[in-house]
Amino acid sequence: MDTTLTSATEWAQTEFGGAELGDQRRTVRLIRVAAALAEEAHGALPESFGEWAELKGAYRLVEQPDVRYEDILAPHRKRVLEGCNLEGEYLLVEDTTELDFSSHLAALDLGRIGDDHGRGLFLHSTLALRVERWNDSLEPEVTVLGLMGQHWWARTAPTIGKGKERKQDRLRRKRESQRWAAVVGEVGRPPAGARWTFIADRESDIYEVFERCQDGFWDFLIRANRPRALADQSGLVSGALTKSPVLGQFCVNLRSRPGRTGRKAKLEVRSCQVQLRGPLRPGHRPAPRSVNVVEAREIDPPDGEEAIHWVLLTSWPVGCLKDAIRVVKAYTRRWLIEEYHKALKTGTGIEQSQLSTAGRITALLGILAVVAVRLLNMKLLATTRPDDPVSPEELSPEAFEVLEAKFGRPKEGWTHRSTLRAVARLGGFIGRKSDGEPGWVVIWRGWRKLMLLTQGFDLAKEVRCG
């Protein structure tokens, strides 16, 4: 059941009702705290709780030594895995971000971040996307199921200077890079009828990632980061691509990013199949691995813009132009993991937490990590299932009365698209034809305002009835 637009209480019950925290009363408290944060999420807890008793209960919950991040997140991860076991196609997108608590000088158990002068935590997330359909432009339209995996750590080990450690010694010890595709070993192989594809950026271009995915019967789609040697002939992957003919040209829409506006890029694409030579490892060389390679290179980029050039290593078939386009456009869905981390940091304000230890901060993170999933999916529902009706029971009759009082009833009725655009208008979205679809920031801002207006509406009814 999709609980994105349901009441905060129903959503919290679905996501956290199965949490095993050593005492059923703690689980009940977790549901109440999560419901409150779903309505008014903020890392600084006093801004989310108006009643002292509720605030004190939230503090008491996250301060319990037995209330751990992993246990809070466990029922959500279980629900996501069950969803991914259904027949269909799924994209499992990974990335790492930093949680910056440098200004919180009193917090204990944090580690180094950034240039090693900041203080905070690292967070590595695996976001599960279900492909609802492939549209006429060969783009996958997706919904967010949630987090198949997420791990945090504090970097506390001594810094090893560049050139101070031999490569073979580094490969023998535990390394942060081993986080990539670790979820494959955690959840196992996909069931019959379900196709799981691991997707990640250049930092995941590690030979062990290819091994984990192929041995675990996962597909993969990884942006290349290094020149790789061929096993069955001399030369590199780049040389094999150069010898391959251009399959054709197509366009992709590039999203805006800091310092770069969104635009449409025209790409030419080529592909080939290669045998990668295994790199030297302590005491052995891994067996060769067969992968398909897709190169997408931008033609005539605008003045002042860096040309797009992606080399993608994948297990997907690439026998024709359509196959290659599907690979490239599936890779563009990787941006959703970046949006998820923005939703977590900017939307829920986890970095504003003033809790005193990493354990307490991450207990709160276990709740806000799932709130951020809900936030992100609000935006996607308007594009993947725009015309599906939303009933008053899903959102709440009072919320629809507020929206209709503000904006009137849409001609097409309350659908995913019309509902979320109305919510976004509360957050400052103007809604002109030239504005496109609202972003998650205005949707979240509008959602928080709608929750406040709905509470006021309920109070007014109580006064009238009393």
Task: Give me the residue spans of the domains in the chain.
Answer: 70-340, 386-466
To the nearest 10 degrees (0 to 180), the angle between helices 69-84 and 8-16 is 90
Please give the structure tokens belonging to residue 454. Answer: 């709905």
CATH code for residues 70-340: 3.90.350.10
Look at residues 91, 158, 75 and name the one whose alpha carbon lies nearest to residue 129: 91
Q: Contact at 8 Å (CB) between 184 and 210? A: no
Domain 386-466: top CATH class: mainly alpha
Distance from C-alpha of 232 to C-alpha of 174, rounded to nearest angstrom = 31
pLDDT tens digits in sequence order for the chain, 466 residues long: 566 767 788 899 999 999 999 999 999 999 999 999 988 888 889 988 878 999 999 999 999 998 999 999 999 999 999 999 999 999 999 999 999 999 998 899 999 998 888 999 999 999 999 999 999 999 999 989 999 999 999 998 766 666 666 666 556 667 788 999 999 999 999 999 999 999 999 999 999 999 999 999 999 999 999 899 999 888 999 999 999 999 999 999 887 776 677 789 999 999 999 999 999 888 889 999 999 999 999 999 998 888 999 999 999 999 999 999 999 999 999 999 999 999 999 888 999 999 999 999 999 999 999 999 998 887 777 777 788 888 776 777 888 888 999 999 999 999 988 988 898 899 899 877 767 778 767 877 887 788 778 877 666 666 565 5
Q: Could you identify the residue written with the tokens 């204990």?
A: 108
Q: Report the amino acid identity of residue 34.
A: A
Distance from C-alpha of 288 to C-alpha of 275, rounded to nearest angstrom = 6
Please give the structure tokens belonging to residue 79. Answer: 């629900």
Q: Contact at 8 Å (CB) between 334 and 91? A: no
Q: Contact at 8 Å (CB) between 198 and 218? A: yes
pLDDT at 29: 96
Distance from C-alpha of 336 to C-alpha of 142, rounded to nearest angstrom = 10
C-alpha distances in Å from residue 225, one per residue of 13, 222, 296, 313, 453 = 43, 9, 14, 10, 49
Distance from C-alpha of 222 to C-alpha of 216, rounded to nearest angstrom = 16
Write the DSSP symbol of residue 346: I
Q: Contact at 8 Å (CB) between 358 and 108? A: yes
Phi/psi at 103 (5° precision): -80, -10
